[in-house]
Chain A
Amino acid sequence: MSVDITDLSAWQQPETIMAALQHPQIAVVGMSSNELRASNFVGYYMHRNGYQVTPVNPREDEIYGLKSFAALQDVPTPIDVVDVFRDSSAVPEIAEAAVEIGAKYLWLQFGVISAEGIAIAEAGGVQCIVDKCIKIEHARYQGRMHWLGFNTERISAQRRKD
């Protein structure tokens, strides 16, 4: 069971990304308590921006007051988005767990790419976003990315809330 990952654009569609960001419950798999790790930056950012963030990492007890769980299956609350900061080789197992807990999206961060993991998730009805950063995409579509001169690709004459 596999998919062709030479072109990732099918898993980077703005519509899918925007829809995923509408969901409040995020598990950050591989989140670290080390403030210099990208997973820490991202988890903290999403938490500060009102998402219910659940760290999943057997080596952590608690990060920013958020209880960490050893595995996705141990999380007692529902999870919408499974955000992955692990080696690509760990993705198939995480994808199986994402299907098992009824997650809606499997979000693979920069450099986390697994054809097998994508295939497992999609076969189980979980939509995938691949090689994208959830923090950057949030900042692009809902946040303040435009404040730092980044290209949000947003072209609109509508007045928005922020």
Chain B
Amino acid sequence: MTVPPRFTGFHTRAVHAGASPDPQTGSRAMPIHQTTSYVFEDAESAAAYFNLQEYGNTYSRIMNPTVAAFEERVANLEGGVGAVAFASGLAAQNAALFTLLEPGDHVLASAALYGGSVTQFKHVLRKMSVELEFVDPDDHNAWRDGIKSNTKLCFAETIGNPSGCIFDIESVAEIAHAADIPLMIDNTFATPYLCQPLKYGADIVVHSATKFMGGHGTSIGGVVVESGEFDWSNGRFPVIAEPSPAYHGLKFHETFGTFGYLMKLRSETLRDLGACMSPFNAFMLAQGIETLPLRMRQHVSNALTIARHLQGCEAVTAVHYAGLEDSRYADLVAKYLPEGPGAVFCFDLAGGRQAGIRFIENLSLFSHLANVGDAKSLVIHPATTTHRQLNDTELAASGIGPGTIRVSIGIEDAQDLIADIDYALTQLTQSTS
């Protein structure tokens, strides 16, 4: 007897995971279940759904079939046991933290995070009475020494935004696990096509699906994926292992085993914080993922071509792309991101603030805006936008110079992007000479 084949390729899963044809209608495309609520079959089913004794749809703040299809697709590509989607990347991060933290706990986070995450961590955790400490992501000893008796989580980005540093996931996962705590990774810049952090021992992955996952720049969204491997009953996480006062005494880890964290994340945190993803955005983002591998290959190939080109430009003093041969992160890139370290990076212009402004004004193919991970190429001058409040000394402390430009390389033809850059650089030298 031969067994039917199992389909395991990444491209296949990007197109199919989470979305078999609709059983009721046969619709081949993913239906958009634009509904707030669901009619129960009978009173007993309704009770079983609310008691979590059976999986059933109740209300779209907590679950929705289109959102579920998106969630399963991401969970599948990341190699996790499941996922819960949220209204944005920051909503996902907030919920992931909220589910496992209690007042008095301590969080250890990489100092090289997306600025919005730094702000979120600082303010939200302070209001939750959770201590927070930032550490140099490259310094293993800092992670090891930073863990205290009340530390509940280590957090970092696979590829740091905007510094482009590459995180040594496996080593820090080992350090965290030796102290019985989980490692959470923001995998937004890598996407599961370039790197799957759970494979290297990370326990939870969060995404801003707003970026490369969607790829079209039409929809804000976020998602949390869990490996199902972390032992939440190890004594350090009574918040997940012990009877929950927010769900009539349910013990999430004992009752749902590997799904305990995600069940709590959905049936308590999402229920209570309420930042759910809309069915329409789930549809858009799931559509985007169908072409994720194809797009990511073009993104990284263009990024490397353009980084190399910039290295040869006179007006450019430094190119901070980890994919360049002389990068200090070359070994980590080879291990974690063999197809390339994403498509977002910074470079420095010799002429400082004025050069930064002029360069951006003379680009006509790159879009000047505050986002990354679109199919279109994007550019921003941090010193006059996202980091405008800082003086030059403060800028330097955050690794950004007055002439630093951040680009998110799209999937256009590399020669057109280079032509655009070259023209803007010419305008620069003409004005300063």
Contact = CB atoms under 8 A, between A and B. Distances in A.
Contacts of B255: 36-38, 41
A151 B85 CA distance: 13
Interface size class of A (residues with CB under 8 A): 35 or more
B20 A158 contact: yes
B61 interface: no
A149 B68 contact: yes
Contacts, number: 110
Contacts of B67: 149
Contacts of B243: 36
Contacts of A107: none
A133 B257 contact: yes
Contact of B12 (A36, A154, A155): A155
Interface in A42-81: 44-45, 48-49
B48 A146 contact: no
A125 interface: no
A150 B257 CA distance: 13
Contact of B56 (A36, A41, A147): A147
Nearest to A139: B55
Contacts of A41: 52-53, 255
B90 interface: no
A2 B261 CA distance: 34
Contacts of B51: 35
B81 A151 contact: yes
Contact of A36 (B75, B250, B262, B266): B250
A150 B224 CA distance: 12
B262 A150 contact: yes
Interface in A121-140: 133, 136, 139
Contacts of A48: 44, 48, 53-54
A158 B55 contact: no
A159 B21 contact: yes
A38 B259 CA distance: 13
Contacts of B26: 159
Given A36-B250, A45-B53, A48-B48, A150 B21 contact: no
B251 interface: yes
Nearest to A148: B55
B348 to A, nearest CB: 42
B79 to A, nearest CB: 8
A150 B23 contact: no
A149 B63 contact: yes
A151 B65 contact: no
Which of A148, A152, A153 gathers the greatest number of chain B CB atoms within 10 Å? A148
Contacts of B28: 157
Nearest to A110: B257
- Best-buried of B17, B63, B262, B263 by chain A (most CB within 10 Å): B17
A159 B51 CA distance: 30
Name which of A41, A145, A160 has the most chain B CB atoms within 10 A of its CB: A41
Contact of B82 (A35, A149, A154): A149
B53 A156 contact: no
A37 B63 CA distance: 24
Nearest to A149: B71
A23 interface: no
Interface in B221-268: 243, 248-251, 254-259, 262-263, 266
A11 to B, nearest CB: 16
A159 to B, nearest CB: 5
Contacts of B161: none
Contacts of B75: 149-151
A37 B18 CA distance: 30
Contacts of A37: 254-255
A146 B257 CA distance: 17
Interface in B275-331: none
Contacts of B12: 155
A155 B13 contact: yes
A157 B21 contact: yes
Interface in A1-57: 14-15, 35-38, 41, 44-45, 48-49
B3 interface: yes
A144 B56 CA distance: 7
B20 A147 contact: no
A110 B258 contact: yes
Given A150-B82, A159-B23, A44 B72 contact: no
Nearest to A133: B257
A102 interface: no
B55 A147 contact: yes
A110 B256 CA distance: 9
Nearest to A159: B21
Interface string B32-55: 000000000000100010011111
Contact of B254 (A38, A44, A153): A38
B76 interface: yes
A151 B76 contact: yes
Given A48-B54, A150-B72, A155-B16, 10 more contacts: A36-B243, A38-B254, A38-B256, A139-B55, A147-B57, A147-B65, A148-B63, A149-B68, A149-B266, A159-B21
Interface of B: 3, 6-7, 12-13, 16-18, 20-23, 26, 28, 44, 48, 51-57, 63, 65, 67-69, 71-72, 75-76, 80-85, 243, 248-251, 254-259, 262-263, 266
Q: Lowest 8 CB-CB distances: which A-B pairs, in order?
A: A149-B71, A150-B82, A151-B75, A110-B257, A144-B55, A155-B7, A159-B21, A155-B16
